[in-house]
Structure formats: C-alpha cells, structure tokens
Chain A
Amino acid sequence: MAGEFVASDPAWEAKVRASFARQTFMHTIGARIVSLAPGSCAIELPFRRDLCQQHGFLHGGVVTAIAANAGGYAAFTLMPEDTSVVGVEYKVNLFASPKGTRFLARGRVLRPGRTLHVVESEVDAEQDGRLRPVARMQATMMCAEGISEVGMEVRA
C-alpha cells in the first residue's frame, strides 16, 4: 500500500516515533514499531507471561492496545504539524485465542479526514513461523488541532 498517501508534515516519521516513545505503557509491555509509512504503522509485541488472561493467552486488552496504537499512529502520520491524535471509538472482534510467541498489529488508514480518520488494524499471532489472524479493529481517530503532542503532557 506504499505511496497511497502523502504525509503533509515533513517531520511525520520523527513525530510518530517520538510520540510512541512517550507512551510509557508501550515500554511497560515491550512493544515497538517495526514499520512505518504514510498511512500505515506496524507494532510488534513478544509474548510475555505477565500480560495474560486466565487461560495463559495474551489478554484482550493488550491485543486491543497494540491494535489501537497501530491504527492511531497510522492516522497520526497523515496529520498536520502541531496536532495531536486522540482515539474516539473502536470496535474489536477477537476471533481466535491469541496464542503465539510474537504478535504483530498492522494499522492502516481507510479514510483520512480533516478532523476524523477511519482506520483499521489487524493483529496476527506468530507461532512456529506461521502468522494467524487473531483480532480485527475498526477505529475512529481524531486530529486535535492546535495541541502539540508534547504540550499536552499533564503529569510530571
């Protein structure tokens, strides 16, 4: 899907990576960005036992967190300078137990608007070298204008 969108902010890549780096929760769970292009973002998370639900699989909230971030940052690549990205709503279908040694959330913009971006994310679980889809999200991300990403920091 490369080249489908053009980023209006020349610093799009640095700004997305800097924002992701400020998300303490991503650091806490060990997630990282593995690919980034205008309108798309992929996030990887190695399996960890301390992020599980009652059956020993990755918790649905963790699956959602990486899906929402892949979608949110896919949208943020296309947002103008001095704006901030905010999640408005999402729908998630969990269609298989998230069983695997590594998880990959791939987000892409379906429709970039001035204020609202519609995005979708797929989460795959990798096991024995095979990727299997475990969840899908459709989300709405808002572009908050005049609020720089850094300036919104509320707690020291």
Chain B
Amino acid sequence: MTAIIEADHLTIRFGQVTAVNDVSLTVEKGEIFGFLGPNGSGKTTLIKALCGLLAPSEGTGRILGMDIRKDAAEIRRHVGYMSQKFGLYEDLTVAENIAFYAGVYGLDAKRAAERTHEVQKLTGIAPYMKRRAGQLSGGWKQRLALACSIIHSPEVVFLDEPTAGIDPVARRALWDLLFQLSGQGVTFFVTTHYMDEAERCGRVGYIYLSKLIAIGTVAELQRLPEANPAGTTRVEIETANAAAMLDRVRGMEGVREATIFGRSIHALAETDRLGELRAELPQARIEAIEPSLEDVFVTLTYQIMEAAR
C-alpha cells in the first residue's frame, strides 16, 4: 500500500487561535477517507494546508510524496478540490465551465477534449453542455463541480461537504461516482456531517476542537474503549411512545447518555444498574447493541467537554 495523504503532527495557528492541533493521519491509495467534525473544528483548514494553500505552523505533510511546504504548486496539479459552494460560474455554460478548468489545469487542446469526453461519460452531463450552470438543479451542479474538479485526472480529490443541501437521490448518485473512481485508484478525502455517508467510507477520522480524537474503520471506532467505557452497556430500549419516555430515561441514575433513534431510545447505561432500568420500564424491550458511529462521536465529544470542565 502506498500512502497518498500523510499528515505528521500538523499544527496550524492563526495568531492566537489554533485551527488544527497536532493532527497525524495517513490515507492509502484508492481509499475513501471520511473526515467528520462540527463546523469550525478545523476541517477546511486541514484540507487547505494539505493542498499547500496554508503553511503549517508546525509539523509536516506530504501528498503523493510531495512536501506540502515546498511543492505546493506541483501538488495542486495532481489534486482535485470540490467545495460545498461548488465553485461554478453560473453565467457560463456547462461546457464553458469545464473548458475553463481544463485550461486552468494546463491541459492542451487534445487532452482537454479527451478528458471532457471522459467526464461527460462518467457524470452523464453531456445533454446539458450548452446550458448555463446557474440553471442546473442542485444535483447536476454537484456533478458538474465534480466533473470540473477531476478534469485533470487527479490522483487525490478533496471533497469539502460535497453533499450539503443535496437531495438523497443525488447524494446516492455522487457516492456511486466516488466508488467508481476509487475503484480506478483515485483517493478521496471527504468531509461530511452525514453519518450514513461516513459509514460508507473505508476509514473515518473525527476532529473536535481542532484535535483529531478518533481515526479508524467504522468497526474499529465502534469498538473503541473510549466509546464503550468500562462498566457500561449500550442498550436499545424499545417502548411505546419513546419520545415521551426520553426525559424519564435521562433522569435515571446510572444512565449516562440517552437519545432517540427512530421509535426507540439508545442509552449508555452502567451495566450493574441495568436491572433498575428494566424494573423501571417493565413494558420495554431492552437489548444490548453496538454503538452507532454517531453514538461513538457523541460519547467522545461528551468526554472531552467534561474533561474541559
């Protein structure tokens, strides 16, 4: 396996503010790496640093073996980037947008024509080539943005919240495209707020308050000791009118966290007090479960918030 993206104790400060604090991670070739964290936790800053746009205050990073401090210009030729704003010129047509990015990435006429054909085939945008980008629906804008960001056949693509505000069908279509490209060896670094998207990723990192607090496959994260504190059991409580019962469950001694999942309650309870829980809710069906990815992140976040207090 070859490491495509490497961050080694990366720290980025803006004056007094530390936006990224001592982050280390590696992403392998062809991997889809999911990067999660609340707004303002440092996701976009890390991406900008990895693309060589921001000089790190401490630490190093490499993209395709190139140093992000020294080879920034070269890195950008091999990296694709798509932001949630899409970066499209709405008054230009689809074809003009694609041609512009082909030009900006320095493709000659022959290569540009080839690649335009290829991204058309991949994204299915061919019928809309003469339409103004501003007249496309959200899903098509997103596909056009992807087409533009991969026009130069980059080995790595950074996607910064690519599916924010897009309907589920378009989201699914985008992920299908990503899997297709990753099958061809393209490496993806995707930030998202959606847990279901995170669960599609090969590996996931979670950043909170500028620090990377968890990284691994979804299964690894679910088994993290911090997410399953000793002496506790995560249970699903199936009961009539779960929403009404939530406050009661939260108020019980021995329940550390509780939240609604559909028509049931997921709770993190102290194992030796499970009996009390069962006694309190005689009608409910209570079963031990694996934590979901969201459970893991919420538990980790609470722990940090409590430690900070």
Interaction A to B: no
Please give the residue numbers on chain B whose beta carbons come within 8 Å of chain A beta carbons, in ascending order: none
Mark A residues whose CB is within 8 Å of B.
none
